[in-house]
Amino acid sequence: MTCDDVITGSQQWEWLDKELSGSDAQIHLISSGTQILPYDKPIQEKWSHYPKTRDRLFDLIKKHKTPGAILLSGDVHYAEFLRADNVVGYPLWELTSSGMTHTCGTQVPLGMCRYALDWFFRSVYQVTDFFIEFNFGTIDFFWDAEEPFIQIGIKNKDNELIFGYNVTIDSLQPGRLPVFEEDLNIANMTPFTLESFRYIIFPLIALIVMSPWLCGVCRKKKAAGAPTRSTSTTKKVKKDQ
């Protein structure tokens, strides 16, 4: 198994290939636990850590001329919409929502969530801003409209629409846009995953920050355990006598 097999195995690829090749659906929802489109979020799990796998998904969509592919993802503790216009021949939307129990905004205090997102989680494919409160995603189909469309949305815990886009079915047909190779910035594809940040980088930062205090504690313990000069002298005198 190579690193490019980590996200999807051979059986999954065979299944997806078969499903896309025999489908006459106008909309195809493809879900993933991590984001697929963005490559420029250095401190986050994402498909671009396995670029061949990511390219293979796009190639399958192009191979079968699959219309209406929409990507669904989560597990980032915020919501946003992303869109790539150059990878499959029509706008490829990604709807990311999470979560309903905790989010970046409810877990990280003092506005640090917004600061971190603005510095490390912006993407060239980002269409909306981040929504950092409780949220969920919706997709509504309007087949009976004069020009059929779908509405993709992000709603808050009160069922209020925060982000919403109407996307016509016609705009999601293969050949609507030219396909060209992405200009990927390798510097932004550093594989800092959430796990590496949680178990390596964050503890290392914490150790550096706490090192002056730890050194102070060590010095105090060493000083408390060391004999004083007068005590040493006294013991020496008694021994000589």
pLDDT tier for residue 231 given thresholds of 50, 70 and 90: very low
**Distance, CA of 178 to CA of 232 (rounded, Å):** 86
Contact 76, 62 (CB under 8 A): no
Residues 6+ apart with CB under 8 A from 97: 74, 79, 135, 136, 137, 154
The full set of domain ranges for the chain reads 3-192, 197-240
Cα-based torsion angle of the residue sequence 159, 78, 33, 64 in order, rounded to the nearest 10 degrees: 80
**Distance, CA of 61 to CA of 175 (rounded, Å):** 12
Element (H, E) at 206: helix 202-225
Q: Tell me, yes or no, if the pTM score tops 0.85.
A: no
> pLDDT value at position 81?
98
Provide the 3-class DSSP secondary structure of residue 154. strand
- In the predicted model, is pLDDT for residue 92 greater than 60? yes
Question: How many degrees, rounded to 5, is the angle at CA 83 between CA 134 and CA 35?
Answer: 55
Provide the 3-class DSSP secondary structure of residue 118. helix
Which of residues 238 and 157 earns the better pLDDT score? 157
Tell me the per-residue pLDDT of 159-216, one tens digit each, with 9 for 90 and over: 999 999 999 999 999 998 989 877 776 555 555 555 545 555 666 577 677 767 766 7
